[in-house]
């Protein structure tokens, strides 16, 4: 999608409403993004407001993929780690709206998140994804290495346990050999 624009998102009511809609739809469709179905609009908005407040403090970045005025997808880059892990960042809440899937939106968001992590001096990117209905194939295409699986890690949005797959990728220049 050539016209897609990736931007750090800010805490305005319209953006929070679009993020909430994306999260609710993803959870309803079985996406493993920390929440159970049905997710209320109030809980979804509360999650994003807190996440955007953390972003304003520099603890994370919440990126959005805009198609004109519509939010096609989002990804969060977690940056707030313990003092002995200043080189690490983590990917979370990667979601593409159902109408925009299969057109490279998540790939563009992941490239932008990785670029930002490198700009912040991070050299190791980690993430996990559900064993069932997760995005393992996408992450492997993006160069992430599978460490292993933890069984029965979390509940799926509609119930029943799923394992999680742990991935890592070295990025940028390794400043901490
Ligand atoms: C996973 C998700 C973000 C992918 O979004 P997308 O914008 O459709 O992804 P892209 O178009 O950039 O896909 C890039 C490539 O990854 C592949 N891919 C995408 N989703 C995949 C998945 N779930 N499993 C395996 N491969 C996947 C695509 O086939 C595509 O391959 P290609 O380049 O060979 O055609 C989207 O399906 C989604 O929001 N799912 C629900 C939420 C979720 O599971 N998020 C991950 C949480 S860890």
Within a domain: residue 175? no
Within a domain: residue 110? yes
Residues with CB under 6 A from ligand 1: 26, 31-33, 73, 94-96, 101-107, 129, 134-135, 137-138, 141
pTM of the model: 0.96
In angstroms, what is the span from residue 97 Cα to ligand 1's centroid?
Answer: 11
Specify the pLDDT at position 173: 72
Within a domain: residue 108? yes
Supply the CATH number for residue 88's domain.
Answer: 3.40.630.30
79: tokens are 């940056």
In angstroms, what is the span from residue 106 Cα to ligand 1's centroid?
Answer: 6
- Between strands 88-96 and 124-130, the pairing is parallel
Q: Which atom of ligand 1 is nearest to the CA of 138?
A: 16
Within a domain: residue 56? yes
Number of independent structural domains in the chain: 1
Within a domain: residue 43? yes
- Please write down the long-range contacts of 99-107, taking CB distance under 8 Å and 24 or more positions apart: 99/72, 100/1, 100/65, 100/67, 100/72, 100/73, 103/1, 104/1, 104/4, 105/1, 105/4, 105/65, 105/72, 105/73, 106/73, 106/75, 106/135, 106/138, 107/138, 107/141, 107/142
In angstroms, what is the span from residue 139 Cα to ligand 1's centroid?
Answer: 8
Ligand 1, pocket-test mutation among 23, 24, 102, 126, most atoms within 8 A of CB: 102
Within a domain: residue 14? yes
pLDDT digits (tens, 9 = 90+) for 15-70: 999 999 999 999 999 999 999 999 999 999 999 999 999 999 999 999 999 999 99
In angstroms, what is the span from residue 135 Cα to ligand 1's centroid?
Answer: 6
Range of the domain at 110: 4-170
Reported confidence tier of residue 143, pLDDT bands at 50, 70, 90: very high
For the ranges 85-94, 108-117, 118-127, 168-177, which has the lowest average pLDDT? 168-177
Helices (H), 29-174: 41-56, 105-119, 136-141
Within a domain: residue 176? no
Within a domain: residue 177? no
Residue 98 DSSP one-character state: G
68 φ/ψ angles, rounded to the nearest 5 degrees: 65, -125
């Amino acid at each position: 999608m050539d016209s897609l624009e990736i931007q750090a998102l800010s805490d305005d009511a319209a953006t929070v409403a679009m993020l909430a809609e994306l999260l609710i739809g993803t959870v309803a469709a079985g996406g493993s993004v920390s929440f159970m179905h049905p997710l209320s609009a109030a809980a979804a908005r509360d999650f994003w407001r807190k996440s955007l407040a953390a972003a304003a403090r520099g603890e994370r970045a919440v990126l959005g993929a805009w198609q004109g005025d519509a939010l096609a997808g989002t990804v969060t880059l977690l940056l707030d780690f313990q003092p002995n892990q200043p080189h690490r960042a983590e990917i979370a809440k990667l979601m593409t709206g159902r109408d925009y899937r299969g057109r490279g939106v998540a790939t563009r968001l992941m490239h932008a998140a990785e670029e930002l992590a490198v700009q912040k001096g991070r050299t190791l990117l980690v993430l996990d994804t559900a064993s069932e209905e997760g995005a393992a194939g996408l992450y492997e295409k993006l160069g992430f290495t599978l460490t292993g699986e933890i069984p029965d890690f979390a509940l799926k949005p509609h119930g029943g346990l799923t394992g999680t797959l742990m991935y890592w990728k070295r990025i940028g220049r390794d400043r901490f050999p």
